[in-house]
Structure 1
Amino acid sequence: MTTMATKKPSLVGGACIIASVCVGAGMLGLPSAGAGSWTLWSILAIVLTMAVMTVSGWLLLEAFKHYDLNVSFNTVTSDLLGEKVNAFNNLTVYFVGGILLYAYTTSFGLILQGSLGLESKTASIIFVFLASSVVWHSTRAVDRISVVLICIMLFSFIFGVFGLTVHVDFSKLTDAVNQNGEYAKYAMALLPIALTSFGYHHSVASMRSYYGEERKAKYAILGGTSIALFLYVIWLVSIFGHLSRDSFGPVIAQDGNVDVLLSALGTVVSSEKVSQAINVFSVSAILSSFIGVGLGVFDYIADLFHFDNRNKSGRTKTWAVTFMPPLVLSLLFPFGFILAIGYAGAAATVWTCIIPALLVLKSRQREGSEKGFLVKGGKIVPYFVLGFGVATAIFHFLTMVDVLPVFRG
């Protein structure tokens, strides 16, 4: 009797998983956040962020190599850095999830207000109850809806964004009307938003388990972040090639809210079908990110409070703790999209840069650490990743208090 060999997971499949985790509503904030630095410096900023975030994922792989394939980020952090550090790390994970749900709720409410004529707060309430019901129902429901939304995002991105790209105005792309413009000094403000666009680190343990080794997981991570980088560059070129730098003033004045960006874009795009495709992509990206992030926070809350998610009562408790605080905050304090994403990026530096670097530095003190998967570069690499994370968080708060230059349009 012939036994069929088990088919090994492909690198393409793993790369697509990482890319799908990265690419979501966060990319909608990149143009507004990068309006000051404009095309060249914005691209340089996201290339640097992509490189650091890729390496920080590799650092996690190195720290995980001493553990079973089914180990979690939570377990490794607790073992290597202690319960207090792990508790703080988990708190930042929850904060990032909560602030993202808050940002998506506010933005989607404003989009529905413009398209359906509803009052934004009413629209936000309707959105949260409908979208969160998918998470409440089951993980399988999230899986099925996510596949549909990703397909819609893919086709609308191809038709809409590439429709913009082929008609790019190079004078706008290079900001030709502003020959003496300053750009580099505004790039620092983009880093926290760029960082959230490469936040796949909670999936590193899954990738390692998926391939059964660190080396293939390393290349899958590189492939995924490279795909995300390519899509982000195309997105920025498409937007900056149609909207002048000065036209971002009204968008920034509204804290980079997505509905304002889409309205501004709609006034300069000649093709109504392309404009509609961009709108469909934006709506799908926010909805997909909302239920994806919502599921992660939902499972985290259930584990934290020991709610029984096997029955309706337990799931309802988890649903209330997960989705009601962001909704209430959105109704009471409807801050802008970029402002919220910036806070998420500042907090995310903890578990995307700082903790991975500390884990590797601690892991390398153990006997036998020189064996198996290693990230090249010695101590310079983890210290650079650590420094990048700390600097990105500092840049965000200095921007908030106007110590660093802020582009107003």
Structure 2
Amino acid sequence: MEQSINLSSQKDVKDKSPSLIGGACIIASVCVGAGMLGLPSAGAGAWTALSIFAITLTMVVMTLSGWMLLEAYKEYDLKASFNTVTKDILGSKVNVLNNLTVYFVGGILLYAYITSSGLILQDILGMSSQISSVLFVLIFSTFVWHSTRAVDRISVVLITFMILSFVFGVSGLAANVDLAILTDSINSDGQYTPYVLAMLPVALTSFGYHHSVSSMRAYYGNEHKASRAILLGTAIALGLYCLWLFSIFGNLPREQFIPVIEQGGNIDALLGALNSVIESEKVGNAINSFSMAAILSSFIGVGLGVFDYLADLFKFEDNKQGRTKTWCITFLPPLILSLLFPFGFVIAIGYAGAAATVWTCIIPALLVYKARKTHKDKSSFKAPGGNAMVFAVIAFGVLTAIFHLLSMVGLLPSFTG
């Protein structure tokens, strides 16, 4: 996904100092859509405890890798993008690979959100999923086309709405959590550990905000404030994920995920399975509203990252004509592909996670490793852990990609009941 700084945000910084919660909401909104809606199906094999362990580990690694990007950026102008810094430090060939994976992940996430929104809205609007998807893109991509400040404001509104609907929906689910279902104690011979590895690509995608790091740095004007926004944003996302999994896995028996997984983990299938075990219509409506808000918030957040990244890559001007060109190459390709070739949500997220290891783990670690050899300033922002943490982040990324490839060819166990 992402980005540069096409600085509509540069003007925003001059207007007033942005709030910590605003930036954190952008980071959280980028994360939450994919993770909230993909993790239950992806974690059905590993179930509650191991799924929460996997996403917590992933959150820690992904926060550290985002801080590594901030450290690598610190010697550059605030306008410098992921593209610019990678090309300067690691060279053109590595940068081409990075750009391809950034665009692929951003594009496939937008593709997944557009497809899912159509499936959900077709029942609400009473029209085909294709028309619903088109309307979804035309209306809500306008915020991205307008400015970073518009995305900030709508992100705060959406996160607030998500929290309210989430609290209402989850409180209804939590009140009915069955410990036997939550712990899967009814299946005394259940196997869980073998399924954790295949879950990691979806977990990694659930914290894929790195395309927004350069925007956060430019938005706040320094690395320290941006790092706090990143930490708060990923912490918000982790908290929401844990509450969500606790509530879902405490109400929907493990075996009822089988038909959802058979349909590619599509959101409408998951919501249908949930509605079958939710007795309260109001709770069901709250969960449906939350799911739609989660898709919308991530669509806008990811869209901003891809938009800014492509604007910098193609050097489009920050005016109406230039932003319209950027809008076209950001949103039209995933929309067209969604209309022509829709497929499972979790499948799409898995592909995104495998490719995202390049620019969320490997490239940030390589950037900071080389930057530390060049820049000896120890007084400014520095990611913790030293070179040991750099190598650990690289290893995590490489292994996650390998796990996805093994899962694709059937060499990792797949939960089928």
Corresponding position of 1:4: none
1:134 and 1:20, CA in 2 relative to 1: closer, same or farther beyond 3 A?
closer
1:308 and 1:367, CA in 2 relative to 1: closer, same or farther beyond 3 A?
closer
- Structure showing greater radius of gyration is 1
Q: CA-to-partner distance for each residue in 1:202-229, whole Å, 9 max, x for gaps? A: 3333444555554454444333322221
1:65 and 1:299, CA in 2 relative to 1: closer, same or farther beyond 3 A?
closer
Pair 1:178 & 2:187 matched: yes
Q: Determine which of 333, 336, 351 is the counterpart of 1:328.
A: 336
Corresponding position of 2:374: 366
Structure 1 residues 354-393: aligned runs within 5 Å: 354-366=362-374, 368-393=376-401
Corresponding position of 1:349: 357
Corresponding position of 1:275: 284
Q: Determine which of 406, 410, 414 is the counterpart of 1:402.
A: 410
Q: Determine which of 228, 248, 260 is the counterpart of 1:251.
A: 260
Pair 1:150 & 2:159 matched: yes
Q: CA-to-partner distance for each residue in 1:237-291, whole Å, 9 max, x for gaps? A: 0100010000001100000000110011011111111110110111111122223
Q: Determine which of 46, 58, 77 is the counterpart of 2:55.
A: 46
Question: In the aligned structure 1, how far is the partner of 2:164 from the partner of 2:192?
Answer: 33
Q: Percent identity?
A: 68
Q: Determine which of 131, 134, 138 is the counterpart of 1:129.
A: 138
Q: Determine which of 171, 176, 197 is the counterpart of 2:206.
A: 197
Q: Is the 8 A contact 2:29 2:298 kept in 1?
A: no
Corresponding position of 2:82: 73
Corresponding position of 1:3: none
Instruction: Give the residue type in structure 2 aligned to 1:65.
Output: K
Unaligned runs of 5+ in 1: 1-6
Pair 1:300 & 2:327 matched: no
Unaligned runs of 5+ in 2: 1-15
Q: Please state how far the C-alpha of 1:74 moved relative to its aligned partner.
A: 2.6
Question: In the aligned structure 1, how far is the partner of 2:205 from the partner of 2:31?
Answer: 8
Q: Please state how far the C-alpha of 1:371 moved relative to its aligned partner.
A: 4.9
Q: Please state how far the C-alpha of 1:113 moved relative to its aligned partner.
A: 2.6
- Of stretches 31-40 and 207-216 in structure 1, the one that deviates more from structure 2 is 207-216
- Of stretches 120-129 and 367-376 in structure 1, the one that deviates more from structure 2 is 367-376
Q: Is the 8 A contact 1:92 1:347 kept in 2?
A: yes
Question: In the aligned structure 2, how far is the partner of 1:207 from the partner of 1:372?
Answer: 17
Corresponding position of 2:122: 113
TM normalised by structure 2 equals 0.88
Q: Please state how far the C-alpha of 1:53 moved relative to its aligned partner.
A: 0.7
Q: CA-to-partner distance for each residue in 1:8-41, whole Å, 9 max, x for gaps? A: 8776665445334332343211100000000011
Pair 1:88 & 2:97 matched: yes
Q: Is the 8 A contact 2:118 2:133 kept in 1?
A: yes
Q: Is the 8 A contact 1:25 1:282 kept in 2?
A: no
* Count of aligned residue pairs for this structure pair: 403
1:133 and 1:15, CA in 2 relative to 1: closer, same or farther beyond 3 A?
closer
SS in 2 for 1:131: helix
1:260 and 1:180, CA in 2 relative to 1: closer, same or farther beyond 3 A?
same
Question: In the aligned structure 1, how far is the partner of 2:368 from the partner of 2:88?
Answer: 12
Q: Please state how far the C-alpha of 1:327 moved relative to its aligned partner.
A: 1.9
SS in 2 for 1:21: helix
Question: In the aligned structure 2, how far is the partner of 1:307 from the partner of 1:340?
Answer: 29
Question: In the aligned structure 2, how far is the partner of 1:196 from the partner of 1:384?
Answer: 18
Corresponding position of 1:319: 327
Structure 1 residues 224-263: aligned runs within 5 Å: 224-263=233-272
Q: Please state how far the C-alpha of 1:148 moved relative to its aligned partner.
A: 3.3
Question: In the aligned structure 2, how far is the partner of 1:126 from the partner of 1:371?
Answer: 50
Question: In the aligned structure 1, how far is the partner of 2:276 from the partner of 2:78?
Answer: 52
SS in 1 for 2:256: helix
Question: In the aligned structure 2, how far is the partner of 1:29 from the partner of 1:92?
Answer: 20
